[in-house]
Amino acid sequence: MISRSPDLIKFRGVVVSPRNLRSFHHRHPPPPPAPTMSDLRPPEHQVAGHRASANKLGPLVDGSGLFYKPLQAGDRGEQERAFYEAFSAHAAVPPRIRDAFFPRFHGTRLLPTEARPGDTHPHLVLDDLLAGLQAPSVADIKIGAITWPPSSPETYVAKCLAKDRGTTSVLLGFRVSGVRVVAPGGAVWRPERPELKALDTAGVRRVLRRYVSSVSGEGADCSLAAAVYGGEGGVLSQLHELKAWFEEQTLFHFYSASILLGYDANAVSATGVGGGVRVKLVDFAHVAEGDGVIDHNFLGGLCSLIKFISDIVSEAPETPPLAP
């Protein structure tokens, strides 16, 4: 559990020191004035999680680089806020890791809710991870064979375990929670959740191949594999950097967090050498303290994902496609 006071932030019992907090505030000046509701809209490219609608809370973007994530119900919202506060302030997190692989946290903000006029709801203010991508191809991959923190109550363990066994989590150490692929003509492939939940090992391999293919329809040519997955700054090299950190870091255990992959389908097909490839961690409502132990569950799933993607790069055509 988390407790907060004006002077201290506790993350699952660990007090974040005032020294770290100063550093946190130094790095994160208060965000600009609140946007009005008319600036905000549901993100067009969201592939997983709750979606905002007239009657439901969901994330919003302001079109100028910020992403507003409503605090989730129960403990989750507060847990996620506590994680962002602790993580942003933690002196032992290498700045390169924080900047490269995590959305920047800009505090929380009360926003009016369409569902309950006159009422407000607290939102985490984060970087919009897909800002700047004209035609984002996105994949949300939930990492770890185990998605429940060890201290969870029995009913929660049972619920998660059923999902972890019913999807590929236990078998592969990860599952694809969402995907959106933009084909050359602009056509978007975004399978529905039941389809993703039903994927087996071969299905996951197909989705990860299709994510780097520039065809419309069912096929997969993996013509973008070298540009998106391989090469300098590609997904694989970023995942390897993340892996090196996970082999050492004993601060946090990222249960049920996802790796979000993104690239610009327009830019990559135009230049053939990348296109804003992004690898980010998201969804921290179930992060637990590391207590001096590495996150072997996340690390194992990450290594499994790396193997899947390496295999695709090895089998794919070696040179990225040229511009048409």
- List residues near its own copies by CB under 8 A: 145-146, 150, 157, 161, 165, 170-173, 201, 247-248, 250, 291-294, 296-297, 299-301, 303-304, 306-307
User: Considering the complex, what minimum distance in angstroms separates the CB of residue 198 from its own copies?
Assistant: 16
User: Considering the complex, what minimum distance in angstroms separates the CB of residue 169 from its own copies?
Assistant: 10
Using CA atoms, how far apart are residues 228 and 246, in angstroms rounded to an integer? 22
User: Considering the complex, what minimum distance in angstroms separates the CB of residue 242 from its own copies?
Assistant: 14
Burial of 169 (0-12, 13-18, 19+ CB in 10 A): buried
Whichever of 183 and 196 has its CB closer to its own copies, that residue is 196
Whichever of 84 and 252 has its CB closer to its own copies, that residue is 252
Whichever of 10 and 205 has its CB closer to its own copies, that residue is 205
Whichever of 163 and 190 has its CB closer to its own copies, that residue is 163
Residue pair 59/69 in contact (Cβ under 8 Å)? The answer is: yes
User: Considering the complex, what minimum distance in angstroms separates the CB of residue 205 from its own copies?
Assistant: 8
Whichever of 188 and 294 has its CB closer to its own copies, that residue is 294
User: Considering the complex, what minimum distance in angstroms separates the CB of residue 208 from its own copies?
Assistant: 13
